[in-house]
Amino acid sequence: MIRIRELTRAYEMGTERILALRGVTLDIARNEYIAIMGPSGSGKSTMMNLLGCLDTPTSGEYWLNGEEVSRLSDDALARVRNREIGFVFQTFNLLPRATALHNVELPLVYAGVGGRERRERALRALDRVGLANRVQHRPNELSGGQRQRVAIARALVNQPSILLADEPTGNLDSVTSEEIMQVFADLHRGGQTVIMVTHEPDIAAHAERTVVLRDGRVESDSRGSALDPYTPAAAPEPLAAAAGAR
């Protein structure tokens, strides 16, 4: 489903040119549950942005569902994000003044789905993450775990090809984190492709495949949930650290 070939991404930092990704090749099949790991500065944020079609690569190819998305225009990328990708962020990124229901409806608004169908689908998505009784609550009336569930419902509501989670448990306590991981596991069992970017080995351990990035390259790609996590680098390279900060 995802075919990535020699993907690079360079940033101009003043006069310096920083390579955040130095040629990543990766295939991800439908219904995989994959964790992308790496120390800070390894290029995992850049990887996440490229996978999520928020950014375009400097060179290389990114095929998503048979479409070469690495050269699309802004608006075409917006359409791909809307249809194919469901984001779950570390900081939830819900609209603070909107209710849970309205937050979940948002992707459907941009997909051009009409009012009644939108509401039904949003309610179904909220029901799926166990929040059927919280639809009219605003984010500040919900706990962290509930907020992340709203975000997951929002990510799923347009039936995307990929659920793309960026440190989904980074702002949650361990009990809640486990609950969220349980939700991910259930979704995966239901056929959903899940890509999770994290630096926490405990969280990555829930995935069935782990890709470790280091210095903009794939360091290891291993299957099995009980894998050995990466060992942190003693001192990150200054160049790579700067790229990671971008």
Partner 1 sequence: MSLLEAVRFAFRTIRAQKLKSFFSLIGVLIGVTFLIAVVSVVQGMNRYMVDRFANALIGANTFELRQRPSIVMDDVTEDVWREWRRRPRISYDDADYVRERIRTPATFAKFCSDRVNVSYGGKVAKDVDLVGTEESYFRIRNYEITAGRTFTAQEVRAATPVLVVGSELADKLIPGLDPLGKPVQIGGLPYRIIGVVAKQGTLFGISLDKFAVMPFNAPGRRLICPINILDALIVRTDDPTRMQGALAEAEAAMRARRQLKPDQPNNFAFQTAEGALTTWQKISRILFLALPGLVAISLVVGGIVIMNIMLMAVSERTREIGIRKALGARRRDILAQFVVEAAALSSAGAVLGIGLGLVLAWVVNALTPLPAAVAPWSVAVGVVLGVTVGIAAGVYPASRASRLDPIVALRAE
List of residues contacting partner 1 (CB under 8 A): 49, 52, 54-55, 74-75, 78-79, 81-83, 87, 89, 93-95, 97-98, 106-107, 109-112, 154, 158
Q: How far is the CB of 81 from partner 1 (least distance, A)?
A: 5
- Indicate the residue among 79 and 137 with the shorter CB distance to partner 1: 79
Containing H/E element for 85?
Answer: strand 85-88
Q: How far is the CB of 83 from partner 1 (least distance, A)?
A: 7
- Indicate the residue among 97 and 189 with the shorter CB distance to partner 1: 97
- Indicate the residue among 78 and 242 with the shorter CB distance to partner 1: 78
Q: How far is the CB of 94 from partner 1 (least distance, A)?
A: 8
Residue 13 identity:
M
Q: How far is the CB of 44 from partner 1 (least distance, A)?
A: 14
- Indicate the residue among 85 and 204 with the shorter CB distance to partner 1: 85
DSSP string, 92-106: ----TTS-HHHHHHH
Residue 81 identity:
R
- Indicate the residue among 54 and 233 with the shorter CB distance to partner 1: 54
DSSP string, 130-192: T-GGGTT--GGGS-HHHHHHHHHHHHHTT--SEEEEESTTTTS-HHHHHHHHHHHHHHHHTT-
Residues 6 or more apart in contact with residue 69 via CB below 8 angstroms: 53, 62, 63, 77, 80
Q: How far is the CB of 138 from partner 1 (least distance, A)?
A: 10
Q: 226, 225, 214, 235: which is closest to 21 by C-alpha? A: 214
